[in-house]
Amino acid sequence: MKQIQEEILKLVSLLNKYSYEYYVEDNPQITDTEYDTLYKQLEKLEEKYPELILENSPTQRVGDRVLDEFEKITHKIPMLSLSNTFSTEDLIDFDARVSKLVPSENVEYICELKIDGLAISINYDNGKLVSAATRGDGTVGEDVTENIKTIFSIPKVLKDKRSFEVRGEVYLPKKSFNILNKEREENNEVLFANPRNAAAGSLRQLDSKITAKRRLSAFIYSIVGDDSIVSQENALNTAKEYELPVNPNFKLCKSIDEVIDYINYWTEHKQDLPYDIDGIVIKVNSYKVQEQIGFTQKSPRWATAYKFPEEELATKLLDVELSVGRTGIITPVAILDPIVISGSTVSKASLHNKDIIDDLDIHIGDMVVVKKAGEIIPKVVRVVKELRTEGSTKYQMPSNCPSCHQETYVKDNDPFTRCKNPDCPDQNIRKIIHFASRDALNIEGLGDKVVATLYDKGIICHTIDLYSLDRDKLIALERMGEKSVDNLLNAIEKSKESSLDKVIYALGILNVGKKAGKILAEKYVNLSNFMNATLEELINLDDVGQITAESILDYLSDDNNIKFINDLINIGMNPQYEINEIKSNNIFSGKTVVLTGKLVELTRNEAKEFLEKNGAKVTGSVTSKTDLVIAGEKAGSKLTKAEQLGIEVINEEQFANMVREVE
């Protein structure tokens, strides 16, 4: 029994970790298939040993915690998840369970495409769109009303004054996804891994203007709170009548055999669609029969989701290609004999690092099995060792950097092979690209290709060379006219005015992101002070920690890095962090403040910037440590919690008066 208990504990811990990465961070680390396999394993153990079910087991709730960036909305009727099926046998078992629960009924099913997006609930009152929320944990979601209003396919006003709630899926069409990633690439921004992540990130933007630019779309799949609707088919047709977006590919099936035929068709034709689907949803059509069948604690018994299996194919591994990042990490990529997986040609696949290569026992010339993680990113999952030939060669990570040919090294307890040469060409190119990127110094016109060209032509060797570019040499380059050269030189000159936090981030220190850059700027005020940072100082800063502190000190212990910072100072880039003289009667100084609701006079970002400049710490959630809550229009659960805890609350007018007093 102890062994079973430990196995359940391990599964719960793993699944909760993966759920957090998927639902909260929008950064899934495993495929849906792998997650579902672990989930079913846990379900079987809990069914057999109900006395060992843990309170925090993912089977005991629908989703995971909600982000704090938005107000929260409680769903009047929970948005439950669906059980999953993966095979024809599973579907036949599902049909048998349904038939057993309603033996007197001739059950019909509605089949719908399972859109790979983000579940949403939208409320219409008197014909007007009044609120919208994400699924969240199934009970409480995030208020994304303003963002939903930016989606053209969703009507703000219905054709009559009907009141109901509709539920559906927000998604990013393939065309929109490609356009978005192309724009991000041109702006030196991190690309989205897949349309689902892009849709989730777009819908969770605090600025609805950004959401509007993302070209999201939606499909509605149910109507809640309308007693006149008697079936799922009726609900879909009613939604169409109200010009709500409904996927046209649903089908009424008279038997489970027809359901299986429908699934087989879309398994073969899913790549023809202009959007991603990851399965088929099967629901009992009649609402009356649905009610008779009922629910489990977490999902309806009358519905299930068939998940498409991830396609795996074997091909020959021709070679291993290496790339060097700005921090010196050397990443191996498998070069494959091209194959078509899930509708696209794959000629490369990730091998990640030395440990993965060793675990797979990779040999050049091996037949390897490749699949797309989440049907997006190709990766090698195993080697077909039975087909290995005698002439194959075991692959080992190089002892010399593929870019500069200097010796490589591996840190203790670290799977990554690194180049430590500060003059490594590939590292330098990546460092310059990072330095000029939008979140760093935002040097317009200095994209990846331009940097590579300047480096290859010997015009620049290090980042500091950007500030001594020769105009004539630039004009002599292909596709570099006088206007574009002047714009580039002006942008480089303008970058000298960048704020200290952006300059620190632009240095490219391992583990130092935008947030850490701001914290370090507040602490050290200028670059000269920053170069003298100590471990004790760093680890005592909020949100820095031991690992980041050690990364900073490693960077500052390198003479080349110190020279680079001094060179920046010498060309006039030594911004002083603005320290405001805070009045003794300033109510915001030293306070922990929460902003909630819609502000009219100021944007949320403007209010946050003002508060931070005047000594306040702005957080996203109300706790016992909160000193003050500023409540705008339609303040929700944060206001309620503040009142329950007895925390001081002021409205926007009172806040505006205080702003004027401080100024």
Report the C-alpha gap between 582 and 588 in whole angstroms.
9
Burial class (CB in 10 A: 0-12, 13-18, 19+), 248: exposed
437: CB partners within 8 A, 6+ apart: 188, 189, 506
502 carries a ligand binding annotation: no
Q: Is 112 annotated as a binding residue?
A: yes
Residues 6 or more apart whose Cβ sits within 8 Å of residue 483: none
How many angstroms separate the Cα of 587 from the Cα of each of 415, 607, 616, 655, 661? 50, 14, 9, 10, 10
Per the annotation, does 404 bind a ligand? Answer: yes
The CA-to-CA distance between both ends of the chain, in Å, stands at 67
- The H or E element that residue 11 is part of is helix 2-19
Long-range pairs for 330-336: beta carbons < 8 A, 24 or more residues apart? 330/397, 330/398, 330/401, 330/402, 330/408, 330/416, 330/417, 330/418, 330/419, 332/357, 332/397, 334/362, 334/368, 334/370, 334/380, 336/368, 336/370
Q: Tell me whether residue 424 is annotated as binding.
A: yes
Distance between CA atoms of 317 and 321, rounded to whole angstroms?
Answer: 11
Catalytic residue among 17, 72, 114, 496: 114
Phi/psi region, residue 277 (left: phi>0; alpha: psi -120 to 50; beta: rest), is beta
Q: Which residues contact 49 (CB under 8 A, 6 or more apart)?
A: 1, 4, 8
Q: Annotation-wise, does 34 bind a ligand?
A: yes
SS (H, E, C) 256-273: HHHHHHHHHHHHHHHHHC
Is 114 an active-site residue?
yes
Residue 35, marked binder: yes
Residue 614 CA to residue 579 CA, distance in Å, equals 9
Residue 348 marked in a binding site:
no
Name residues whose C-beta falls within 8 Å of residue 10's C-beta, 6 or more positions apart in sequence.
none
Is 82 known to sit in a ligand binding site?
A: yes
Distance CA 63, CA 67 (A): 12
* Token pair in block for residue 615: 């000594």
**Which DSSP string corresponds to 119-165?**
EEEEEEETTEEEEEEE-TTSSEEEB-HHHHTT-TTS-SB-SS---EE
Ligand-binding annotation for 359, yes or no, is no
| Residue 32 marked ligand-binding | yes
3-state secondary structure of 330: strand
DSSP state of 648: E
Residue 461 in marked binding region:
no
222's tokens: 């149910």
Q: Is 40 labelled as part of a ligand binding site?
A: no
- As beta bridge partners, residue 281 has 112, 305
Distance CA 610, CA 588 (A): 10
Cα-based angle 64, 65, 68 (whole degrees, multiple of 5): 150
Q: Where are the beta strands (DSSP E) in 342-465?
A: 344-350, 363-364, 367-373, 377-383, 393-394, 408-410, 417-419
Q: Which helix (H) or strand (E) holds 3?
A: helix 2-19
Catalytic residue annotation: 114
Which residues are documented as binding site? 32-36, 81-82, 112, 135, 169, 283, 307, 401, 404, 419, 424
Which residues are documented as binding site for NAD(+)? 32-36, 81-82, 112, 135, 169, 283, 307
